[in-house]
Amino acid sequence: MGNTSQQVAIVTGGGSGIGLAIAEKFTKNGIDTVIVGRDEEKLKTAKSQLGDCCHLMICDISNLGSIPALIKKVIAQFGKIDILVNNAGINMKKDFIEVTDEEFQRVITTNLCSVFAMSREVVKEMLKKGNGSIINISSMAAQYGLPRVIAYSASKTAIDGMTRAMAVELSPKGIRINAIAPGFIETDMTAKALNSDPERKQKVFARTPMGYMGKPADIGEAALFLASDAAKYITGVVLPVDGGNSIGF
Ligand code: NDP
């Protein structure tokens, strides 16, 4: 069992993109950080980059039945969980009428049901020590209407509602729940969504007052802040980190 004074975090999807940047901020600040994903090679590469405070666990979180065992494994190794970042997610861009029930369900299971199941199992542990911080990664797709991402929009809008519902129920018990709504951030996911669609890319820049895309590290900074004592009176918020995209004209 690990040193109980050292903070312990789980970052789902911590092997790449935004999750990797969050894990980098955490590990640089001495937080033992368990990165979770499906691709072992990706996680190993991330660990070699992040060093000794980074630990990896392989789990397909869309397999909801595997989540309780994952959390038990983290507890067996570290003794507690202080921070959970529900970051792992998938996108699917397709015309509304072309989306099958299976495709819709796949996105909802990965982006939403897993966030519920992860949070439920982690909250059981956080309640034992009476504190903790959970950060859900939302999206601009929950702030305004985006065409051709119906399942993704449904999942991220539900994340915002769940963040508020969890915050009112769990904050009195010492657990803060917040979300970050990233704007358009330079990762593989955005490259896939925008590079093949110049019109969409143009729209993104046109309504982003700062005029450029964010970096994964910008989300890392916000996550570190929300996880820290500096944010001890903040719960239930969905914080846009978006260069003004959500309020852009
Ligand atoms: P990436 O595709 O780079 O990263 C997604 C991560 O999630 C991967 O590391 C992947 O790991 C992991 N993942 C996906 N499915 C599963 C699964 N079933 N089980 C375990 N891990 C899984 O995307 P981003 O970094 O761009 O996105 C991260 C989050 O930020 C997502 O929730 C996304 O919706 C959100 N977001 C991103 C924005 C952007 O501009 N990039 C904007 C708004 C929100 P592996 O392949 O190893 O399973």
What phi and psi values does residue 135 have, to the nearest 5 degrees? -125, 120
Query: How many angstroms does the Cα of residue 30 sit away from the middle of ligand 1?
Result: 24
Ligand 1 pocket test, pick from 63, 189, 195 with the greatest ligand atom count within 8 Å of Cβ, gives 189
Does 150 reside within a domain? Answer: yes
| CATH (domain of 77) | 3.40.50.720
Which tokens is 23 given?
Answer: 């894990």
Phi, psi of 240 (to 5 degrees): -75, 130
Residue 201 lies in a domain: no
- Separation CA 109–CA 88 (nearest Å): 11
- Is position 68 within any domain? yes
Q: According to DSSP H, which parts of the chain are helical?
A: 17-28, 40-50, 67-78, 101-108, 114-129, 150-170, 188-195, 198-206, 216-227
User: pTM here?
Assistant: 0.97
3 state DSSP class of 200:
helix
Q: Specify if 228 maps to a domain.
A: yes
Q: Which domain holds residue 124?
A: 8-185+216-240
- For ligand 1, atom 20, which residue shows the shortest CA distance? 37
**What type of residue is 24?**
E
How many domains, the chain?
1
Rounded Cα distance between 233 and 59, Å, is 33
230 falls within a domain:
yes
Percent of the chain with pLDDT over 90: 93
Q: pLDDT tens digits for the chain (249 residues)?
A: 444 579 999 999 999 999 999 999 999 999 999 999 999 999 999 999 999 999 999 999 999 999 999 999 999 999 999 999 999 999 999 999 999 999 999 999 999 999 999 999 999 999 999 999 999 999 999 999 999 999 999 999 999 999 999 999 999 999 999 999 999 999 988 888 888 889 989 999 999 999 999 999 999 999 999 999 999 999 999 999 999 999 999
Measured from the CA of 110, which atom of ligand 1 is nearest? 18
**DSSP string across 232-248:** TT--S-EEEESTTGGG-
Task: Please indicate, yes or no, if residue 204 is contained in any of the structural domains.
Answer: no
**pLDDT score recorded for residue 4:** 54
Query: Within 6 Å (CB) of ligand 1, which residues are found?
Result: 12-13, 15-19, 36-39, 42, 60-62, 87-90, 110, 137, 139, 182, 184-185, 187-190
Tens digit of each residue's pLDDT (9 = 90 or more) over 15-49: 999 999 999 999 999 999 999 999 999 999 999 99
Within a domain: 154:
yes
| pLDDT for the residue 172 | 98
Examine residue 249 and state whether it is found in any structural domain, yes or no.
no
The Cβ of residue 55 has, within 10 Å, a number of other Cβ atoms equal to: 22
The predicted pLDDT at position 10 comes to 99
The pLDDT value recorded for residue 3 is: 47
Task: Tell me which residues are annotated as active site.
Answer: 152
